Amino acid sequence: NAGVMQNPRHLVRRRGQEARLRCSPMKGHSHVYWYRQLPEEGLKFMVYLQKENIIDESGMPKERFSAEFPKEGPSILRIQQVVRGDSAAYFCASSPQAGYTEAFFGQGTRLTVV
């Protein structure tokens, strides 16, 4: 059973470009969580999604950031018009049910904005 797959592992974008981060949950997992880890900071919750639904996006910046988890395919975290402050490691976790007891994290996408 493959783990949580995130791609790309590294992404470089110029200021103003769009960044798309993908997260394929483990087989059988229908709950996805996104976290951001800024340098020298702890992981910060961004959004919690179930298939086709955003359940909690209280950690998402109000502008430029969006997330989806379609019926088919990976979950996508989209950052429009990136700025240098968006440079961070973005992690997703997936779980077969709500909660983290059986959740696993992916290896992350490291976004660098130049």
Partner 1 sequence: EDQVTQSPEALRLQEGESSSLNCSYTVSGLRGLFWYRQDPGKGPEFLFTLYSAGEEKEKERLKATLTKKESFLHITAPKPEDSATYLCALDQGGSEKLVFGKGTKLTVNP
Q: Which residues bind partner 1 (CB under 8 A)?
A: 4, 6, 33, 35, 40-45, 48, 55-56, 58-59, 91, 98-101, 103-108, 110
Smallest distance, Å, CB 84 to partner 1? 21
Name the residue among 42, 83, 40, 35 with its Cα closest to residue 59: 35
Nearer to partner 1 by Cβ, of 17 and 89: the residue is 89
Instruction: For residue 48, give both structure tokens.
Output: 């919690």
Nearest to 11 by CA among 82, 73, 105, 65: 82
Q: Least distance from C-beta 62 to partner 1, angstroms?
A: 17
Cβ distance to partner 1 smaller for residue 76 or 104: 104
Which residue, 69 or 91, is less far from partner 1 as judged by CB? 91
DSSP symbols for 43-64 = EEEEEEEETTEEEE-TTS-SSS
Closer of 55 and 83 to partner 1 (Cβ): 55
Identify residue 79 by its one-letter amino acid code.
Answer: I
State the minimum distance, in angstroms, from the CB of residue 1 to partner 1. 15
Please enumerate in sequence order all residues whose Cβ is within 8 A of that of 31, keeping only pairs 6 or more positions apart, or say none. Answer: 25, 48, 49, 50, 94, 95, 96, 97, 98, 103
CB of 81 to partner 1, least distance (A): 26
